[in-house]
Amino acid sequence: MKYYLIAGEASGDLHASNLMLALKKADPEAEFRFWGGDLMQEAGGTLVKHYRELAFMGFLEVIANLRTILKNIKVCKNDILEYKPDTIIFIDYPGFNMRIAKWAKELNISTQYYISPQIWAWKENRINAIKRDVDEMYVILPFEKEFYEEKHQFPVHFVGHPLLDAIAKKELVAPEEFRKKHQLDERPIIALLPGSRKQEISKMLETMLSITDDFKEYQFIIAGAPSQDPEFYKPFIKKKNVHLVMNKTYHVLSLSTAALVTSGTATLETALFKVPEVVCYKGSTISYQIAKRVVDLDYISLVNLIMDKEVVTELIQNDFNPKKLKSELNKILDTENRDTIFEAYFELERKLGGAGASEKTAQLIYKSIKK
C-alpha cells in the first residue's frame, strides 16, 4: 500500500515516525511519502517538505504567513495527485490537514486522522467537517472518545497515547556518561523546555533564565529542539550554571529533578518521566486575548486536562513572570509537594490506556484500507 502522511510539527513527526514503523510490520509492502521531519525520514520514505517550513503559531502569525500557507496547500494537493496514495494519514495540525481532507474526500481518497484536532478546546463546529471528510479517527486522549461518540455521535478509536511507546522505546545513555559528555557536574538538574518554534523559544527562555541565579545549588539544562540550530540558543546562555543539550530531551528529563515547560506535548512527556514541572505560556498580547475568548478550557496543559484537576501549576501570560516562576519552582522542589505530584502522575499514566498505540493504529488503518 502507498501511504501519504502529513505532520506539521515536532510531536507529529515523532508520532508519525512510530506509526510508519508499525505500518511496515502490518504491511510489509508499505511505501511512504510525507510532510514531516527527521524522525519520519529515518523511518523511511520520501520527505516532501519539512515541518520547519510549516510551523506558524498564533492568530497574527498565521495571517502574516497566509500566502505561504496557501501555496503549501496547493503544492500538497498536486503532490498527492501525482503520488496516488491508497490513503492519506493526517497527524493533528488541523488548520492545514482539514483543508486537505475536504479536498481529498471530494476525490474519494481514503482519509485517516491520527491524533484528533483539539476541537474539544475550540472550533467545536469542526465536528461537521470531520464527520463529512474523515473516514476513520484515532484518538489518543481518554476523554476524546466520550466527546466524539456521546456528544457528537461520531464513532472513533481510542488507541492510547503514543508517548508511552516513544518513551519505552527510547534508549537512554547512562547518567555518568551523559554528564561527562555534556560537561555537567554532580548538582541536581532543572530542565528548561522552552518549545520548538523560534518565536515561542524567544518569549519563554528569557523569563525562565531570569531565575537561575536564585538556584545556584542546581544546574539548568536547556533542551534544544531538533528543529533549531544550536547557534540560535547561544545568545541566551550567559551563566555558568546554564547548559544547552540539543535533541536529547528524553535524556535530559530522565536525569532532571524538576522542569519549567512551555505548554504543549512536552508537559505530558515531562509527567511521564515523573518530573515535577511548572507549565509556562506567553503569547503575543493580541493572540492571547483572542485565544482567551475562543478557547473553552479550564487548563492549558495536557496533564491537568486529562486529570481534570490542577496537578501542575500553570503560569499563563502575565502570571509568567520571574517572581511567580521562582515561587512555583521552590514549591515543586519541596519534598511534600513532590510526593503529591508523583501520586497524580501514576494515575495519569493509568488513564492513558497502556502501551501499543502505534501498533493498534497501524493495524486498524491497514484493515480499513483493505476493506
For the segment 132-140, the average pLDDT, to the nearest whole number, is 98
Q: Quick one: 99 and 126 in the same domain?
A: yes
Q: Which three cell numbers stand for residue 349?
A: 499514566
- Among candidates 214, 236, 210, which has minimal Cα distance to 223? 236
Q: Does 222 share its domain with 297? A: yes
Segment 31-40, tens digit of pLDDT: 999 999 999 9
Domain count, the chain: 2
pLDDT band at 258 (very low <50, low <70, confident <90, very high): very high
Give the span between the Cα atoms of 9 and 85, in whole angstroms: 22
> pLDDT tens digits for 179-196?
999 999 999 999 999 998
The more confidently predicted of residues 100 and 63 is 100
59 and 205 together in one domain: no
pLDDT score, position 197: 83
82 vs 240, higher pLDDT: 82
- Give pLDDT, residue 97: 96
Q: Is the per-residue pLDDT at 66 higher than 80?
A: no
Tens-digit pLDDT profile for residues 280-322: 998 766 655 555 555 667 899 999 999 999 999 999 999 999 9
9 or 261: which leads in pLDDT? 261
Q: 199 and 310 share a domain?
A: yes
Same domain for 248 and 136, yes or no, is no
Q: Are residues 27 and 76 in the same domain?
A: yes
Domain that holds residue 22: 2-160+356-370
Q: Could you tell me if 200 and 236 lie in one domain?
A: yes
Residues 195, 53, single domain; the answer is no
44 and 11 in a common domain? yes
How much is the pLDDT for 166?
87
Judge if 117 and 96 occupy the same domain.
yes
Asked whether the predicted pLDDT for residue 61 surpasses 90, the reply is: no
223 and 76 in a single domain? The answer is no
Same domain, 336 and 363: no
Q: What is the CATH number of the domain that holds 131?
A: 3.40.50.2000
In this prediction, residue 199 has a pLDDT band, given cuts at 50, 70 and 90, of confident
